[in-house]
Amino acid sequence: MALSRLQASLAAVTNEVTVAAANINFDFTLVRCEAPKEYQNLGNALSRKRKEEAESGSPHITARRLGALFEGICPPTPNLIKAYGVRVSEIADLAKEQTSEPSNSMFAAHTGVDGTSIWAAATSSSTALHVQLSACMLVSVWTAPQAISIWFELVKERRRYVQSSFYTGEKVRYTTLTAAAQADISRLHLAEWDASARSWLRTTNEMKRREQRQLMLILDNVSIPINQDMVVHSSVLSAWKSALESMEKLVTGMPQAVNSGPTLLALSTWHLYPDLLLPAHDNKVVRFLDPLVQSGGMLTVGLENAGKDDLCGVYWSLSLAHINYYGHPVPTSTCPAHNFARISFPQFNQAVFGCLAGKWASNGIDLNSSAQVSALIQGYISILARNETLPLPRIAAIKFLNDSDHWFNLMATAAWAHLDESSTYKDREMDQKLLNYGLRRSSDFFPEEITEPLFGLLNTQTLLD
């Protein structure tokens, strides 16, 4: 009888604790930390509205809750946090110098750099900054709907884990328990968090254009997975921890070697640039000379993973359970898209011309030959437009050349650009990547039934018609 009463008492106590945990109502806006000194310039560069939102609005609540919920997962990275703060402040200052909108204009509150998520994290906790770094990694690879679904699943699984740990009597931090016991972080707030990180990444890619181009030229020529785990929760947490640990060691001057993608993805999204050693390219050393990486912090990029020709660069494969409201999880593979996220129309034409050349390549015509033929045909039409002895063909040729939106003129212009050796190295580098992208995707762009070389342009009758 005594034993049964003891069991009943223990059950009652357990229920009381569970109810108490479920009814925790802690206002996360009440807690605001002083941002580390390295981040102060970022705070000064924000518009007043964005700074207020980051310090007391929904972005701050989201940062606080995410930081509390995921506290204790990753090891401390004080040197990385400092280096990242210096870099984001540097970028914010550069972006502020280039802002042309007057400070007293009606849109002033919405102009300038969007570092809301970073400032919200910096005024919340070091773990919140870790979470913001993770957001940058997700943003660079996944679309907004995909990234939001990933965050939704991460929060859901983390709350479930904290609840399970609490029920089994494991030690759980009070702030973590508080964050887990409260209502779900809404998709709206997660979308706001993602949008700020996405906006920041666009700004930093622009401000660090030279370094990014040099880095992505290297990363685009390897095929390395983030990891082999298709489960969202475990895959993302593993990649997050791996990237934080490796980058902490690199910025302190400790060399690292990697055969998977998290660290490489972190380089391109956190904008910290250690020197790279490439064994697959005759041990070539690429020196960035980043002052935020101490001497000795060199990253050795290991062998690439064969068999993923369709995904060039660092790629990530996950089974997204919350991308749709209904239905089964959706297996998805993707790779960083910020290389081609903001290209000009002439650059887009390079990719389309690459598709054309890829189709013609099946008939034994290489890229340079395709460009030369296209340029020669347009050159022939230009000669015809100047021939006054043939009035009717001349009029037709002039009309054709004046139609700058005609598909052939667009492709011929892309061909001329490819053949132009006077363009800068950076322009040729970008154009070549776009051409290669088109070459790889040509089978998806054109139907298989088109088999005649150069779409019949080598046929005299086609030209005469």
Cα 33 versus chain centre, distance: 29
H or E segment at 410?
helix 407-419
Has residue 400 got a pLDDT over 50? yes
* 99: its two tokens: 């802002």
Q: Are residues 256 and 367 in the same domain?
A: no
What's the pLDDT band for 21 if we cut at 50, 70, 90?
A: very low
Number of domains forming the structure of the chain? 2
Residue 361 or residue 340, greater confidence: 361
pLDDT at 339: 46
Highest average pLDDT, of 7-16, 268-277, 360-369, 390-399, comes from 268-277
Q: Are residues 426 and 308 in the same domain?
A: no
Highest average pLDDT, of 222-231, 368-377, 456-465, comes from 368-377
Residue 3 lies in a domain: no
Alpha helices in 254-344 (DSSP H): 262-270
The mean pLDDT of 78-94, rounded to a whole number, is 95
pLDDT at 307: 44
Percent of the chain with pLDDT over 70: 75
Q: Are residues 323 and 351 in the same domain?
A: no
Q: What is the pLDDT of residues 55-64, one digit of tens each?
A: 989 999 999 9
Q: What is the pLDDT of residues 87-125, one digit of tens each?
A: 999 999 998 887 655 555 555 566 678 899 999 999 999
Residue 458 or residue 158, greater confidence: 158
Q: What is the mean pLDDT of the chain?
A: 79
Q: Are residues 316 and 360 in the same domain?
A: no
The mean pLDDT of 353-375, rounded to a whole number, is 81
Residue 192 lies in a domain: yes
Domain final position from 334, 363, 390: 334
Residue 33 or residue 328, greater confidence: 33
Has residue 330 got a pLDDT over 60? no
Residue 14 lies in a domain: no
Residue 371 lies in a domain: yes
pLDDT at 317: 55
Task: Give helix then strand counts, H and E, for the chain.
Answer: 19, 7
Q: How would you classify the pairing of strands 256-258 and 284-286?
A: unpaired
pLDDT at 171: 84
Q: How far is Cα 349 from Cα 352, in angstroms, rounded to an integer?
A: 5
Domain final position from 304, 334, 364: 334
Q: How far is Cα 415 from Cα 375, in angstroms, rounded to an integer?
A: 6
Q: Are residues 167 and 303 in the same domain?
A: yes
Q: Are residues 312 and 366 in the same domain?
A: no
What's the pLDDT band for 138 if we cut at 50, 70, 90?
A: very high
Domain final position from 270, 300, 334: 334
Residue whose C-alpha is closest to residue 378's, from 351, 420, 416, 345? 416
Q: How far is Cα 80 from Cα 82, in angstroms, rounded to an integer?
A: 5
The mean pLDDT of 228-248, rounded to a whole number, is 89
Question: For 239, what's the count of Cα atoms within 13 Å in the CB-facing half-sphere?
Answer: 33
For residue 398, give the amino acid letter: I
What's the pLDDT band for 83 if we cut at 50, 70, 90?
A: very high
Q: Are residues 218 and 285 in the same domain?
A: yes
Q: How far is Cα 343 from Cα 412, in angstroms, rounded to an integer?
A: 19
What's the pLDDT band for 319 if we cut at 50, 70, 90?
A: low
Q: Are residues 309 and 365 in the same domain?
A: no
pLDDT at 70: 92
Residue 81 or residue 72, greater confidence: 81
Across 160-241, the runs of DSSP E, i.e. the strands, are: 223-225
Cβ–Cβ under 8 Å, residues 91 and 203: yes
Has residue 411 got a pLDDT over 80? yes
Q: Are residues 303 and 439 in the same domain?
A: no
Question: Which range marks the domain in which residue 378 is found?
Answer: 345-464
Cβ–Cβ under 8 Å, residues 316 and 240: no
pLDDT at 311: 42
